[in-house]
Structure 1
Amino acid sequence: MKSKALYIIYFFVLIMSCNSKKNQLQVSVYETSESGNKLTEIKDFVKNSNDSISKVILNPNEKFQKITGFGGAFTESSAYLLNKLSKKNRDEIIKAYFSREGANYSLTRTHMNSCDFSLSNYSYTPVADDVNLEHFTIEEDMLDLIPMIKDAISTSEDGFKIFASPWTAAPWMKDNNDWVGGKLLPKYYDTWALFFSKYTKAYEDLGIPIWGFTVENEPHGNGNNWESMHYSPEEMTEFVQHHLGPKLEADGYGDKVILGYDQNRAGIKEWVDVMYATEESSKYYDGTAIHWYESTYEVFPEDLQYAHNKAPNKYLIETEGCIDAEVPVWKDDAWYYKKEATDWGWDWAPEDQKYLHPKYSPFNRYARDIIGCLNNWVDGWVDWNMVLDKQGGPNWFKNWCIAPIIVDPDNDEVYYTPLYYVMTHFSKYIRPNAEVIDVESTSKNLQITAAKNPDGSIAVVVFNEGDKAQDFNLALGEKSQQIHISARALQTIIIPTN
């Protein structure tokens, strides 16, 4: 009798175990945290029997925008630094960004002519009044920038998109005859449109495909500090509608993406109202580009929603963001989790806007912003420089910033900051053409986004910026899995294809 009773108990335990496994959601979890995890795979979770544990429910049938990609910018400064490193470290960095084992970047940016993260001012059109651009040359890019891009292309198995942005036309095309500020003279609108076509051909002749352009980096200007050229929404739309779009189309480049605006989110409404006012005005615009510098803390969800609703079938891409107004902290991961860093508005912002510029953790800035963007229709997020030195340059204007990877070329050393891992949490696991899906959460302490990849897998990104670890129950249909996330941590949870 005793043996029979034990057998019955064993039988029921076995059934319960099978049912438990049947209802268990299979996941792979990767975490980066202040406690030291760096995309570390987490396999053992502390079980919390508390019935009040928060719930995160995935709704893959409710879909939003398709993802274009995640990545960073090829700048002359980054490329120059790579050329000063040993081949071993140079190759390691390229692989870290572009291999499947690394961040596997899928969307990238580069500059046309020089920018602040160049070694000096230069233009591809050095000869004044060369209306037909007979002297157009990309020679300035041949030593550093182009080799970096070509190495990235060779390394990437999945490929990536490149869009290019001008900071300014050559001074001879502008009303102030200067690198900084001023406007493009209307008599050179056709010449400047030709510039984009010439650039495309020159790069594609070298085996570098150009996916698209932003019309102008920061058309409001940058306080007259470094290369810039100003447009109003009406002036940019005039240029795109009657010059740039038709020229690219006529030269066989009509498939190139044209993104308008390309500055801070808070100013987006007045731009999309003009860009997408009519069918004719919006014909050549494929989307809107935005930056985060109005506030590296506030996402501006209402502005993003407004822009999406104005042109729901067009791109909405974050084309630049970085930790600015800071010199990089070298090999001190803890600093990147501390709320000590400022941004460019910390000192100058008027009192009623100080709340937009708090001291805030660089790690938190990236994590919360990318999640906030994805949850408000943004389909791509592009970091600024991929590589900078310990000073936060080189930068001809001394506009120091932080990059995810910092190098010391004199000693041939490389430092992967926590920001590199934040970018990788998204770029590696949320692939192009993934669709953002609905997430319901009962937690007020976790920031969450999710996307279903083209292969059917689902990537869930969870950010816990609190001082305490959190437990939550992740559910997909009838299956669920309890997850434990560390304090001040970012997780990517992969649910494999069914």
Structure 2
Amino acid sequence: MSARRALVLASLLTLGAAPSPAPVRAWLTSADGAQRLAPVVVSRPQRGATTITVDAAKRYQSMVGFGAAITDASAILIQGLPPARRAALLQDLFGRGDGELGLNFTRLTIGASDFSPEHYSFDDMPTGQRDPDLARFSIAPNAKTVLPTVRQALAIDPGLVVMASPWSPPGWMKTGDSMVGGVLNPADYGIYARYFVRYLKAYAAAGVPMRYVTVQNEPDFSPKDYPGMRWPAIDRARFIGRDLGPALAQAKLGTEVLEWDHNWDQPEQPETVLTDPAAARHVAGVAWHCYAGDVAAQTRVQVKHPDKDVFFTECSGGGWRPGWKTGFGDTIQRLMIGSTRRWARGVLLWNLALNPKGGPHKGGCNNCRGVVTIDPATGTVTRELEYYALGHLSRFVAPGARRIATTSTTQLPTVAFRNPDGGLVLLAYNATDTAASLRVASGRHPFGYSFPPGAAVTFAWRP
């Protein structure tokens, strides 16, 4: 008998539990961050424990995965690391080996976002000049940082799912002739659809096929100091139904369109697009952000349009959610549990990596936090609370897993999955101010666990 197995058995006996016929493994992150995905030992259920029933026979959406955006800022910092450190970090983030994070979903920006050192598109023109034939189109601005980073991630995980979102069309397509502010000229809708196709073909040729695109990041917000624009739902529907959808179908790229890509507070916007028959024909699902509204909006739209997928595509950590208790708890409750319980097939956080000052960026957020922080002066990598929140599912829920039924309460929210190999995964969070005892009922072998307030625990077992 190995020393490790003997220790586990001794711990079980100390807790008064016999070894389970179906061993349950568990990992805990505490509210203060002192324990971070730390292995813990389950026990026999205690009297008075809250029963969480897991029903693997009742299945919901299949999962694409979990991840974060490879922005310009993230790619610049990652590529700035020495080769060995870069390789080790990417292996840790995208590998699926023991202890690795297992991210398998990422988001790119089509041109600049606020987390770009400069504002650019893939077809910039001098003020007052146009390029309707897209003769000057080029993805060269991504050649040194974004493309190498994504390709290296794909080398680690060839199944990595990539999506992309534009913050703005090229300025010459917009009123005001600028990527900041303005709106897309209706006369340029057809040109802009061809711009999408050129981007997708260029990335595919570079070894990065794109599974999904959205037509506009946060289309109900026009930033004052970085690329963006408002784009009303009725006009997005027109663009998707008449221009982009047919262009993508003709190109046969296999890229699907996700609508909205904005907050939970305006479900009527994606509903407007999905009630347009021409647009709905080309829309695969709806993408959501966390910055306003309630996650229940995802269910509202899914119930009305059950044939459309749900994705959660952006939420950033930052100074407005300081500390482990607030930031970690919010990420676990609203995103990892809340979003997936409300039909999300994938969960994406914002920047994969930022520097200690929350950059580099030009405009926009000045106190955002990445999944990891990279200090370019020293090459030091710090894994932030978002890293561990993602890890509570990304390490254990495999692509193609199905969400399954589980009881959940406001005090003890949960979500569960059945992996393709038959293994079960349960994530539970103690949202109370006191210790909580669980009795997990699944098949013939219930198990128990008591965990402190503000802590999250992931259980994995075979029924």
TM-score by length of 2: 0.90
Bigger mean CA offset, 243-252 vs 217-226: 217-226
The reply to whether residue 366 of structure 1 matches residue 366 of structure 2 is: no
Question: Counterparts of 2:384 and 2:279 in 1: how far apart (Å)?
Answer: 43
Cα distance per residue 1:119-171 (max 9 Å; x no partner): 10111112342112111101110111111111111122x52110110000111
The reply to whether residue 421 of structure 1 matches residue 388 of structure 2 is: yes
Shift of 1:475: 1.0
In structure 2, the residue corresponding to 1:259 is in which secondary structure? strand
Q: Which residue of 1 aligns with 2:212?
A: 212
In structure 2, the residue corresponding to 1:446 is in which secondary structure? coil
Task: Give the one of 296, 307, 313 matched to 1:313.
Answer: 307
The reply to whether residue 384 of structure 1 matches residue 350 of structure 2 is: yes
Aligned identity (percent) is 26
The reply to whether residue 155 of structure 1 matches residue 156 of structure 2 is: yes
Shift of 1:382: 0.4
Unaligned runs of 5+ in 1: 1-19, 329-334, 339-360
Q: Which residue of 1 aligns with 2:180?
A: 180
2:37 is matched by which residue type in structure 1? L
Cα distance per residue 1:378-416 (max 9 Å; x no partner): 221101100001111111116220112011111221111
Task: Give the one of 13, 28, 31 matched to 1:31.
Answer: 28
Question: Counterparts of 2:263 and 2:288 in 1: how far apart (Å)?
Answer: 6
Q: Which residue of 2 aligns with 1:11?
A: none
Cα distance per residue 1:315-339 (max 9 Å; x no partner): 111111012455x9xxxxxx6324x
The answer to whether the 8 A contact 1:437-1:451 is kept is yes
C-alpha distance 140-23 of structure 1, shift in aligned 2 (>3 A):
closer
TM-score by length of 1: 0.84
Question: Counterparts of 1:142 and 1:266 in 2: how far apart (Å)?
Answer: 37
C-alpha distance 191-487 of structure 1, shift in aligned 2 (>3 A):
same
2:62 is matched by which residue type in structure 1? K
C-alpha distance 189-131 of structure 1, shift in aligned 2 (>3 A):
same
Question: Counterparts of 2:67 and 2:410 in 1: how far apart (Å)?
Answer: 29
Cα distance per residue 1:283-337 (max 9 Å; x no partner): 0011111100115xxx431x222110122121111111012455x9xxxxxx632
In structure 1, the residue corresponding to 2:377 is in which secondary structure? coil
1:100 is matched by which residue type in structure 2? R
In structure 2, the residue corresponding to 1:162 is in which secondary structure? strand
Q: Which residue of 2 aligns with 1:12?
A: none
The answer to whether the 8 A contact 1:24-1:481 is kept is no
Q: Which residue of 2 aligns with 1:471?
A: 437
2:329 is matched by which residue type in structure 1? N
Q: Which residue of 2 aligns with 1:237?
A: 237
In structure 1, the residue corresponding to 2:197 is in which secondary structure? helix
Question: Counterparts of 2:373 and 2:151 in 1: how far apart (Å)?
Answer: 21
Question: Counterparts of 1:444 and 1:165 in 2: how far apart (Å)?
Answer: 34
Alignment of 1:293-332 (within 5 A): 293-294=291-292, 299-301=294-296, 303-325=297-319
Shift of 1:230: 1.8
Q: Which residue of 2 aligns with 1:272?
A: 270
Q: Which residue of 1 aligns with 2:262?
A: 263
Cα distance per residue 1:207-245 (max 9 Å; x no partner): 111112011001112443321022111100100000001
The answer to whether the 8 A contact 2:67-2:348 is kept is yes
Report how many aligned residue pairs link the two structures. 439
CA-based RMSD: 2.0
In structure 2, the residue corresponding to 1:369 is in which secondary structure? helix
The answer to whether the 8 A contact 1:325-1:399 is kept is no
Shift of 1:205: 0.9
Cα distance per residue 1:62-94 (max 9 Å; x no partner): 222221211110111011111222223222221
Bigger mean CA offset, 307-316 vs 379-388: 307-316
Question: Counterparts of 2:19 and 2:83 in 1: how far apart (Å)?
Answer: 50
The reply to whether residue 491 of structure 1 matches residue 457 of structure 2 is: yes
The reply to whether residue 59 of structure 1 matches residue 60 of structure 2 is: no
Question: Counterparts of 2:213 and 2:40 in 1: how far apart (Å)?
Answer: 40
Cα distance per residue 1:358-392 (max 9 Å; x no partner): xxx11111100121111112221101100001111
Larger Rg: 1
Unaligned runs of 5+ in 2: 1-16
Question: Counterparts of 2:438 and 2:101 in 1: how far apart (Å)?
Answer: 27
2:247 is matched by which residue type in structure 1? K
The answer to whether the 8 A contact 1:25-1:481 is kept is no
The answer to whether the 8 A contact 2:171-2:177 is kept is yes
Question: Counterparts of 1:25 and 1:55 in 2: how far apart (Å)?
Answer: 19
Question: Counterparts of 1:134 and 1:421 in 2: how far apart (Å)?
Answer: 45
Shift of 1:469: 2.8
The answer to whether the 8 A contact 1:276-1:310 is kept is no
The answer to whether the 8 A contact 2:26-2:42 is kept is no
Question: Counterparts of 1:363 and 1:22 in 2: how far apart (Å)?
Answer: 32
Q: Which residue of 1 aligns with 2:324?
A: 337
Shift of 1:468: 3.0
Shift of 1:22: 9.3
Q: Which residue of 2 aligns with 1:396?
A: 362
Shift of 1:21: 6.1
Q: Which residue of 1 aligns with 2:413?
A: 447
